[in-house]
Structure 1
Amino acid sequence: MTEQLTDDEKLTLKTGAFGAVFMVSNADPGVLAVFRESFAASGAMADASGVVKEALTGGPLPKLPRDSALEVESVVLPALRRALEILAEKAPQDVGVYRAVVLTAADRTARAHNGVSPAEAEVVERIRGVLGEDATGR
């Protein structure tokens, strides 16, 4: 059974997902890389379904801190945790969808420009850890 998500809950899902991409992109910044990475991540977001697609494709964009990677992480990682809690409560069938979309977007972002740097790999692993999956996808 799926319950309707509130606007705040949708924004939490969006903050986690878009923020994860932002974290990876900022791990190894570059002007041209940003465009390639954004395009790569948008494809993963478009593949979402159910309440996850509704949350990620509607409403306002999340406001993320821009001052430091640590500040971004302090907003994004809790949003990812909270997003999983929201989905587990209101749309348990979509928890896996959210995990897959966020991880695919983060992985595509990391690979979009000259392969995955060590800094990007580290950020993706932190995101994976929050989402409860190890490197093998479990």
Structure 2
Amino acid sequence: MERLTEDEQLTLRTGAFGAVFLVSNADPGVFAMVRESFAASGVMSGASGLVKEVLANGPLPRLPRDSTLEVESVVLPALGRAMAILRDKAPGEAQNYRSVVLTAADEVARAHKGVSPAEAEAIDRIRQALAAPA
């Protein structure tokens, strides 16, 4: 397993935290956001190995705040790049990353009044980005 560069680590964090942000923003609300952030942090802190190390350390990614499309234009490609980085440098961690991101996204969606159609759509786009060959 090769060491990841700072840029590669930021790509993994951008994808993971951005995915949570996308799902959370799909059905906004202040109380929902608090519950959702707790749900996501619980999943991410329960990660293991390299994925846990990368998600728990380093700066948080800066995400666009203007529109969902702008956020998606940063986050979805980052998820694909993150999977490519892991397949190349730490193949044993790729499935771990995919699982943590999808579980966190799902937990965020379920944290407040169940999964809305908009949240389900966001999770589908995240799943597709994680599956796409980069």
Class of the TM-score when normalised by the shorter of the 2 chains: over 0.9
Which residues of structure 1 form unaligned runs of 5+?
A: 134-138
Name the residue aligned to 2:13: 14
Count of residues paired in the alignment: 132
By how many angstroms is 1:54 displaced?
1.1
Name the residue aligned to 2:97: 98
Which aligned segments of 4 or more residues in structure 1 are displaced greater than 6 angstroms? none
Amino acid in structure 1 at the alignment position of 2:105: A
Name the residue aligned to 2:124: 125
By how many angstroms is 1:25 displaced?
0.3
By how many angstroms is 1:41 displaced?
0.5
By how many angstroms is 1:130 displaced?
1.3
Which residues of structure 2 form unaligned runs of 5+?
A: none
Question: What SS does the aligned partner of 1:115 have?
Answer: coil
Question: What SS does the aligned partner of 1:104 have?
Answer: helix
Name the residue aligned to 2:2: 3
Residue-by-residue CA offset, 1:5-47 (whole Å, 9 max, x unaligned): 1111110000000000000000000010000000000111012
By how many angstroms is 1:50 displaced?
1.5
> 2:13, 2:25 → 1: CA distance?
18
Name the residue aligned to 2:79: 80
Is 1:56 aligned to 2:55, yes or no? yes
Residue-by-residue CA offset, 1:28-80 (whole Å, 9 max, x unaligned): 00010000000000111012111111110001000000000000000000000
| TM-score, normalisation: structure 2 | 0.96
> 1:5, 1:27 → 2: CA distance?
31
* Identity within the alignment, %: 70
Amino acid in structure 1 at the alignment position of 2:79: L
| TM-score, normalisation: structure 1 | 0.94
